[in-house]
């Protein structure tokens, strides 16, 4: 109760203090595990020279484009596969097979197809989100209560209307959960994707800082990645508060 009232700030402060005390007491060398103050220094330095802003924007750009492409293709596809048994029989094995392949395994192919620059990274993000989104959307369609589908049939809804008025809204709560998970993965993958083939982005920032043995910058980069990840998750969570989605939380 006391902790809850105090809020986040003292907890963060305590962790930073502990971090400092432990590294200082054990005399850990800076290049093994930098202290909070030097990380803060690196953050300030990168903030001043614009590196932080530039790299965050390039990472966010790639994630946004890749993720958006995945959303607009995977959700309609998942809705169709969930509804059409024959599509499910044909496509499900393929999707299920491709899904567990780490997007990173596609790096060689991505480079061959798209060369260097933003494109291969965007492609990897797309892949990392596409397959899970298809699978999640399909299963959320299969989970729709038969009663809703019967009501739709009873009221004479057909074709496209059934998708827009019943299937999509009924599956939406689960789709939003899937969006949260896949956006999280996309953000994980972007860092790895940027360690190859590009000269910008938070992944590049980290690998570049390591090459010049600036471990304070590496950790500063990690802090930024964590923070942006939290913000992204928070943004998707806002979708869960839409009045037309709230019902699924109430039912639990």
Partner 1 sequence: MEQDETLNKIEVRGLKKSYIERRTKKRFFSQCRPQEDCKVLDGLTFSIPSGTFACFIGPSGCGKSTMFRIVSGFERPSEGSVLIDGQEVTGPSNRHVCVFQEDGLFPWLTARQNIAMGTEGLKGQQAREEVEEYLELVGLSGFGDHYPHELSGGMRRRAEVARALITNPDILFMDEPFGALDFVTRLQMREEMVNVHQMFDMTILFITHDIDEALQLGDRIIMLSDRPAKVAWDMEIHEPHPRDLSAGDLRQIRKEIYHKMGLHVAL
Residues lying near partner 1 in the complex (CB under 8 A) are found at 145, 147-148, 150-151, 153-156, 166, 169-170, 172, 243-248, 250-251
Min separation Cβ 175 and partner 1, Å: 12
Neighbours of 66 (CB within 10 A): 27
CA-based end-to-end distance of the chain: 25
Min separation Cβ 137 and partner 1, Å: 16
Q: Which is nearer to partner 1, 100 or 243 (CB)?
A: 243
Long-range pairs of 109-113 with CB within 8 A, sequence gap ≥ 24: 111/196, 111/197
Min separation Cβ 242 and partner 1, Å: 9
Q: Which is nearer to partner 1, 97 or 148 (CB)?
A: 148
Min separation Cβ 91 and partner 1, Å: 23
CB 234 within 8 A of CB 222: no
Min separation Cβ 170 and partner 1, Å: 7
Min separation Cβ 224 and partner 1, Å: 37
Q: Which is nearer to partner 1, 38 or 248 (CB)?
A: 248
Q: Which is nearer to partner 1, 50 or 243 (CB)?
A: 243
Q: Which is nearer to partner 1, 30 or 246 (CB)?
A: 246
Q: Which is nearer to partner 1, 4 or 145 (CB)?
A: 145
């Amino acid at each position: 109760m006391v902790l809850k009232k105090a809020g986040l700030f003292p907890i963060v402060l305590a962790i930073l203090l502990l971090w400092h005390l432990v590294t200082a007491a054990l005399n850990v060398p800076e290049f093994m595990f930098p202290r909070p103050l030097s990380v803060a220094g690196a953050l300030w330095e990168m903030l001043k020279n614009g590196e932080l802003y530039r790299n965050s924007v390039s990472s966010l750009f790639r994630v946004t484009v890749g993720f958006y492409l995945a959303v607009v293709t995977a959700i309609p596809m998942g809705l169709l596969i969930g509804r059409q048994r024959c599509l499910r029989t044909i496509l499900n094995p393929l999707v299920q097979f491709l899904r567990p392949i780490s997007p990173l395994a596609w790096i060689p192919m991505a480079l061959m197809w798209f060369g260097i620059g933003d494109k291969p990274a965007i492609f990897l993000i797309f892949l990392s989100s596409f397959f899970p989104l298809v699978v999640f959307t399909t299963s959320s369609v299969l989970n729709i209560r038969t009663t809703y589908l019967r009501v739709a049939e009873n009221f004479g809804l057909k074709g496209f209307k059934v998708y827009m008025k019943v299937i999509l809204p009924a599956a939406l709560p689960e789709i939003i959960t899937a969006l949260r998970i896949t956006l999280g993965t996309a953000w994980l993958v972007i860092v790895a994707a940027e360690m190859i083939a590009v000269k910008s982005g938070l992944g590049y920032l980290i690998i570049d800082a390591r090459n010049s043995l600036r471990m304070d910058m590496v950790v500063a980069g990690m802090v930024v990645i964590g923070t942006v990840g939290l913000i992204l998750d928070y943004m998707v969570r806002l979708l869960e508060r839409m009045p037309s989605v709230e019902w699924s939380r109430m039912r639990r």
